[in-house]
Amino acid sequence: MNIYNDDVFQMACDQFQVIADYINIDKNDRDRLMFPKRAIAVTLPIHMDDGSTQTFQGYRVQHHLTLGPTKGGTRFTPNLSMGETAALAMWMSWKCALANLPYGGAKGGIACDPTMLSRRELEGVSRRYMQEMIPFVGPHTDIMGPDMGTNEQIMAWFMDTYSVYQGYAVSEIVTGKPVSIGGTEGRRESTGRGVVYLIERAMDMLKMDPEKCTAIIQGFGNVGSVAALAMALKVGVKVVGISDATVALFNPEGIDIKAADQHVAKKGNLRAFSEADRVDPNELLTMKCDILVPSAVDRVITVKNADKLQCRILAEGANGPTTPEADLLLNERSKEVFVIPDILCNAGGVIVSYFEWVQGLQSFLWTESEVTDKLFRILQHSFAQVIKRAKEHKVSHRTAAMAIGVERVMKAKQARGLFP
């Protein structure tokens, strides 16, 4: 369909239709649940350092406003499109509903490569984006957060731009901001920590001994690096493979994740990290390991590699890493590969964002251990619900997770009714 025309949006729709068939959603209700409530496209002209003016395209999609404001990350990646943004917003809706958060899903971003911009240019494009979004967002309408290519600093610029317009500090307009301006302790680590917490629950269920397990992690940004550090240093799993957009690395003896993290902090990426062998990035995903964590981009587990995965647990840190066709193959292998689906696996970020928003609205702060404790309790509950439903209904973990989310949104829409 028209403005959302995109492979990733089609994938999100296909996934939705599978759920709609499974829980028998009336044909009249499907489009209403599936298509975004609002989509905004903006053009952002920026003064570049060389004196030229460059325009960037920005997007924001608010999937539904039935349960409260929309909530979702902001992505700065070169090929971002309205369709991809809409798909991510839809996934956010099911993710928030699964965790029982009072939000609809949203997503936004700018089609740009942040690594090619100077700090001044990045600040310019970030501020301009928020300025253009001011009529459409607000602490009770739509709350932004970080995603690929954005970070705490960019959230601080968003918050400042919005606050200057209002005339007072509105910390609750964004989450994932620095602690010094109302950010929540532990938000930066929340997604990666949540991923690892759920991997531990899965290892408990499958009676796997962490000390004897190995892991491969694709993507070494916010989610991937935190997950790798927690896995290696807290859980005792040997991380044998890591990758980023520049290189894929493998070392059967285990990679020194702390050293890799420090290297990225200094150099910006893993390209020159020499304590492991370089391997083909596609092959890294199918190498032997106990736990595979795709935590970079979407659609990396496809029909081409789903039947070749050698992991016992597939923990989806990224959004949409597995295509629906690959899912069919993984369903056939459900006794071999235990899938922790994205809307459950990476929900830690939006759950702690919710805490940050509540803290901002109430001007009341919690400690990091209180935050992490509450996070794990919600994840544990969601995990148990998904496993129970999958077992009882004999469906995949993804189908169970999505069905719980979609049903909650559907019930809320039915209760509110359709305005004439």
Would you name the residues annotated as active-site residues? 107
| Binding-site string for ligand NAD from residue 301 to residue 320, where x marks contact by CB under 6 A and - marks none | ----------------xxx-
Site string for ligand NAD, 315-344 (x = CB under 6 A): --xxx-------------------------
Q: 86: closest CA among 67, 64, 103?
A: 64
| Position 105 contacts ligand NAD (CB under 6 A) | no
- Contact between 244 and ligand NAD per CB under 6 A: yes
Structure tokens at 410: 């559907």
Q: What is the DSSP letter of 6?
A: S
Stretch that binds ligand NAD, among 28-36, 162-170, 290-298, 329-337 (CB under 6 A): 290-298
Residue 364, classed as helix, strand or coil, is: coil
Pairing of strands 142-146, 313-315: unpaired
From candidates 149, 186, 241, 341, binder to ligand NAD by CB under 6 A: 149
- Residue 291: HSE in the Cβ half-sphere, 13 Å Cα cutoff: 37
Tell me if 115 sits within 8 A of 82, measured CB to CB: no
Interface with ligand NAD (CB under 6 A), residue from 93, 175, 243, 323: 243
- Residue 200 to residues 204, 315, 413, Cα–Cα distance (Å): 6, 11, 35
Burial of 151 (0-12, 13-18, 19+ CB in 10 A): middle
Please report whether residue 223 would count as binding ligand NAD according to CB under 6 A: yes
Nearest distance in Å: CB 195, ligand NAD: 9
Nearer to ligand NAD, 25 or 117 (CB): 117
Q: How far apart are CA 409 and CA 239, in angstroms?
A: 38
Encoding tokens for residue 386?
Answer: 């998904």
Least spacing, CB of residue 139 vs ligand NAD, in Å? 19
Is residue 297 near ligand NAD by the rule CB under 6 A? yes
- Identify residues 163-192 at the interface with ligand NAD (CB under 6 A): 191
Tell the smallest beta-carbon distance from residue 376 to ligand NAD (Å). 16
Should residue 395 be labelled a site residue for ligand NAD when binding is judged by CB under 6 A?
Answer: no
d(CA 265, CA 258): 11
The two tokens of residue 123 are 């600040």
Residue (of 197, 196, 85, 185) closest to 133 by Cα position:
85
Task: Compute the distance between CA of residue 275 and CA of residue 222 in angstroms, rounded to an integer.
Answer: 21
HSE-up (13 A, CA, CB side) for residue 173: 26
User: Which is closer to ligand NAD, CB of 77 or CB of 395?
Assistant: 77
Return the residue of 105, 108, 182, 221 that touches ligand NAD, per CB under 6 A. Answer: 221
Q: Does 375 bind ligand NAD (CB under 6 A)?
A: no
List the one residue from 219, 241, 341, 405 that touches ligand NAD (CB under 6 A): 219
Residues 38-97 binding ligand NAD (CB under 6 A) are: none
Contact set with ligand NAD (CB under 6 A)? 146-149, 191, 218-224, 243-245, 281, 295-297, 317-319, 346, 349
